[in-house]
Structure 1
Amino acid sequence: MKNRHSALFAALTLAFTLGSNEAAHAQNEHVVLIGLAGPLTGPSARTGKDLQNGAQLALDDANSKHPTIDGKPVVYKLVTADDQADPRTAVTVAQDLVDRHVIGMVGHWNTGCSVPASKVYHDAGIPEIAPVSTGHQYTLQGYNNTFRIIGHDDIGGAYTGAYAVNTLKAKRIAVIDDRTAFGSGLATQFIKGVQNNGGTVVDHQYVDDKTTDFSGVLTEIKSKNPDLIFLGGVDVEAAPLVRRMHQLQIHATLLGAGGFVSPTFLKLAGADGDGVTALDPGRPLRGMPGGEAFDKQYEARYHQPIELYAPFAYDAAATLIAATQQANSTDPAKLVTALHSIHRDGVTGLISFDDQGNLNNPAYTIYQVHKGAWAVVDVIGNSQQTAAK
C-alpha cells in the first residue's frame, strides 16, 4: 500500500511540475499580432472568410512548431477587421489595426481598399501583403512596404486580350467596365492587349459594381454585333450579365479575368454559365506545389471547400511569419527589409518580390465553364520553380 501511495504521489508531483512548466512557458510567450482585413460581411463575405481561414491555417502551422524570436518563445495571433470591401471603411480599419500594433498585414481583398489603406500602413511603416488585390496601382505608389502574392492586372489584362484575339479568334469585341479600381484597370489593360494583338474593340460600356440589370448596356452592345464581351468586374456581376445575354439572345462569348472563377458564379449563373471563359491569376489548386495537401488540410479544419483565394492568404501570412524568422525580429522596418530579399517555397509557388513588391514570375490560369463546373484550359506565365535549398 505504501508503494502504491508513493507511486501515486510521484505521478501527481510529475504532472504538477509539467503543468507548472507549461504554464510558465505560456506566460513567457510573446504574442505577435498579424492583421487581416477583408469583407467579412456583405455580398463578398464568403471571400473574406476564405481569406481569414487560409491565413489562420498559416498561423496554426507556425505556432505548432513552437517558434522563437531572438531566443524567446512567441505565439502568432490573427487580428481580423471587416472592411466591407469599401475604401472608406478600409482606411478606418487600417488605422485601427495599426493602433492595435500589428506587425504586418494580410489584405486587403480588393484593390479599391488596398490602395487607400496602404497609405495608413506606409505612414506606420508596417508591411502589407495583398493576397488578391491585382490592380497594378497598388504597387505603383512608391511605397517600399507594399507586396502582393499574386500577379497584377497589367500582365493579366495583356494575357487576356491576347487570348481573346489569338486563341478565341474574336473579331468584334465589346467591353463592360464596372468603374472600380479593379474592374477599370483590368478593362484598360485588356483593351491594350486586344489592340496590341491586332484586335478590334467595337464598344466600351460602363456600369458600377452594384449593377444587377444589364439590359441597357447589353441592348447597346447587341447593336454592334460582337462575338465576344469582356467584363471588367467580379462573379456577382458576371452571373446576372450572362443570364441577361441569354435572354436577349446575344450569342457572344463572355470573357473575364480575376473575379469570375468561383463556386458562387456557378451557383448564380446556373446553366447559362456554360462556355464562360476567364483568366485568373495563380495556378489552379491542383497545380499548386502545395495545393493538394492544403486542400485536405482546409477541408479537415473547416469542413467546407476552399472558395478560391485561401491558399494565397495562407502564403501571405506564412511569408510575414517567415520574415519575422529571417529578421529574428518583429520590428516592422526590419520585416520590410526581409521581405524584399525573401525567397521561399509557398503553397501557391515560389514567393519572391520585385523592386515594386510584385510577385516575381506570376502564373495565370485560363478556365472555362463546362457542364456547370470550372475546367482548366491552360496555365500561362511562369514555369514551376522551387527556392534553392
Structure 2
Amino acid sequence: MRVELNWALVAAAVALVACGEKEESAASSGADAPLVVKIGHVGATSGAVAHLGKDNENGARLAIEELNAAGLKIGEKTARFELLAEDDAADPKQATAAAQKLVDVNVNGVVGHLTSGATLPSSQIYNDAGIPQITPSSTNPKFTRQGFQGAFRLVADDVQQGGALGRYAVQSLKAKTVAVIDDRTAYGQGLADEFEKAAVAAGAQLVAHEYTNDKAIDFNAILTTLKAKQPDVIFFGGMDSVGGPMLRQMRALGFNSKLVGGDGLCTSEMITLSANALGNEDVFCVEAGGVDGDEVAINDKFRTDFKAKYGVEVQAYAGYAYDGVKLLAAAMQAAGSADPQKYLPALKAIKYQGASGNVEFDEKGDRKNAALTLYTFKSGQRLKLAVIR
C-alpha cells in the first residue's frame, strides 16, 4: 500500500515542535534561571614565573567557588560565576591575544594580568571593549596613568616599592655605594629606576647600572664587573626565576654585597631557586602589599583555606586575585547588574574588606593607602620585618 504524505501538515507539525522547544528554552532562561557571570583571569601559567601565575589563578578560582556556594544574587537573579582562565606566559603578544579572546566571549570583568609587561598592552584592549580590569600584581605606574576608566590596581606601584627600598638600603642597611641590575622588562626597569632615584637622593653613590633579560641564566660578566666596584648593595629589578640563579653566582664569586629586590624576589620559591644561597639577612625585598591590625585575621583565614584547597602555601599575590574577583562581584551586587557600564561606578566607589586588607580606589584606580611589607631571609625562611604605608 502506498502512503501519500501531506507535506504541508508535516511542515506545520515540525514548526509546532520547534516552537515548543524554543518556548521551553526561553522558560529555562527565565526568572528562575541563574545569571551567568563570566570572569576572566589571565596570568603566566607557563614559563619561568608559572608558579606565580598559577598562584594567582588559584586565588581567583577559590573566590569563584565561594561566590557560587554563597548563592549571591545580582538584582533579582542568583548568579552563577564562571572563571575563564588564560595563560599569557608573561609575554606581551600572548597577553594581547588572551585579552582579545576574553573580549570576544563577552566576559563581565577581568582579573589580571600577573606582570606589568603583559598588563600594559592588554589594558588597551579591555578599555576599548569597556571591560573593567583589576590587576592583582602589576606594579608599573603607567597602568593607571593612561586615563582608562576601568583600570584598577590592588597593590602598591613601582614608585612606592622602589622608593621604599632605596631609602631602606641607605637608612637601614647603611649602604654608601649601590649597583643596579634590571631585566629590561616594564616591571624590572621601572622598579630599578625608582630604586636608583631614591637611593641617590638618600645619599648613596651609584657605581653601576647593568642590564640583563628575563630569561638569562649566566651573569658572570655582569657580576665580575660589579665585584671590582665592591658595592654595598646590589639591587635587582626582575623576578625570582632570574634573581635566584643570580644570587647563586654572586655567592660563587665571593660577593659580600647584600642583594635587594622588589616583590619579584619576595617569594617562597626564591629559597629553592637560589639553592639556599640566601644567607642570613643578606637578601632584602619588599612585597607590594601587606596587612596589619584587624586585617590580619581575614588574611590568615584566606591562607588557611587556600592551603586546605590546594595543598600548598600562598606564593605571593593569590589573595589579591581572590579579592579582585570578590570586588567585581560586590560591585555587581551593589549595582544590581553584571553589565560593566552599570557596575563600574560602584566599583570606583567601593569600600571592601578582603583577604588583602581594606580596599578603596583613588581617582586613577590605584589602591588608597597601599601597604608594603619588608622581608629578609634567615635560616632558609622568609622573615617579615615591617609593614609600611
Same fold (TM over 0.5): yes
Decide whether aligned partners of structure 1 residues 102 and 242 sit closer, same or farther in structure 2, where only a CA change above 3 A counts: same
- 1:285-318, Cα deviation, whole Å (9 max, x unpaired): 9973411111111122112222221111101111
Question: What residue in structure 2 maps to residue 295 of structure 1?
Answer: 303
Q: Which position in structure 1 is the counterpart of 2:169?
A: 164
Specify which of 131, 137, 140 is matched with residue 145 of structure 2: 140
2:84 to 79, 98, 103: 79
Residue equivalent to 1:88: 93
Trace 1:90-129 onto structure 2 (pairs within 5 A). 90-129=95-134
**2: CA distance between counterparts of 1:271 and 1:353?**
39
Provide the C-alpha distance between the structure 1 equivalents of 2:32 and 2:292, rounded to a whole number of angstroms. 39
Is 2:292 the partner of 1:279? Answer: no
* Equivalent residue runs for 1:1-389 within 5 Å: 28-274=33-279, 275-283=282-290, 288-381=296-389
CA contact (8 A) 2:335 2:343 kept: yes
Q: Is the 8 A contact 2:35 2:78 kept in 1?
A: yes
Are 2:292 and 2:387, in contact at CA under 8 Å, matched by a contact in 1? no
- Cα drift, residue 238 of structure 1: 0.9
TM-score (norm 2): 0.89
Q: Tell me the alpha carbon deviations over residues 87-124 of structure 1, each in whole angstroms, 9 at most, x when there is no partner.
A: 00000110000111101000000000000000000000
Deviation, 1:270, is 2.6
Structure 1 residues 6-60: Cα deviation after superposition (integer angstroms, max 9, x where no partner): xxxxxxxxxxxxxxxxx99997112110000011122222111111111111112
Distance apart, 1:346 and its partner CA: 1.0
Deviation at residue 336 of structure 1 after TM alignment:
2.0
Q: For the residues of structure 2 that align with 1:24 and 1:129, how far apart are their CA atoms? A: 30
CA distance in 1, matches of 2:220, 2:292: 35
Change (3 A) 1:263 1:285: farther
Which one-letter code corresponds to 2:137 in the other structure?
Answer: V
Shift of the alpha carbon at 1:248? 1.1
Question: What 5-or-longer segments of structure 1 have no aligned partner?
Answer: 1-22, 382-389
Q: What letter matches 2:321 in structure 1? A: A
Q: Which runs of 4+ in 1 moved over 2 A?
A: 23-27, 284-289
Residue range with higher mean Cα deviation, 38-47 or 312-321: 38-47
CA contact (8 A) 2:63 2:326 kept: yes
CA distance in 2: counterparts of 1:272 and 1:170, whole angstroms = 21
Residue type matched to 1:208 in 2? N
Query: C-alpha separation between the residues in 2 aligned to 1:102 and 1:24?
Result: 19
Give the alignment's Cα RMSD to 1 decimal: 1.7
| 1-structure distance, mates of 2:228, 2:69 | 60
Task: Tell me which moved more, 52-61 or 313-322.
Answer: 52-61
Distance 2:292 2:80 in 1: 29
Which of these two proteins has the greater Rg computed from alpha carbons?
2
Is the 1:66–1:73 contact (alpha carbons within 8 Å) kept by the matching residues of 2? yes
One-letter identity of the residue aligned with 1:336: L
- Residue 127 of structure 1 contacts residue 335 of structure 1 at CA under 8 Å; is this kept in 2? no
1:244 CA drift (Å): 0.9
What is the SS of the residue equivalent to 1:321?
helix
Kindly indicate whether the alpha-carbon contact (under 8 Å) linking 2:232 and 2:257 is maintained by their aligned counterparts in 1. yes
Q: Secondary structure at the match of 1:36?
A: strand
* Distance in 2 (alpha carbons) for counterparts of 1:296 and 1:285: 17
The 3-state SS of whatever aligns with 2:363 is: coil
CA contact (8 A) 1:289 1:348 kept: no
Counterparts of 1:111 and 1:159, CA distance in 2: 19
Contact 2:135 2:324 in 1 (8 A): yes
CA distance in 1, matches of 2:267, 2:156: 18
Shift in Å, 1:220: 1.0
Secondary structure at the aligned position of 1:75 is classed as strand
SS class of match (2:308): helix
Gaps (5+ residues) in structure 2? 1-27
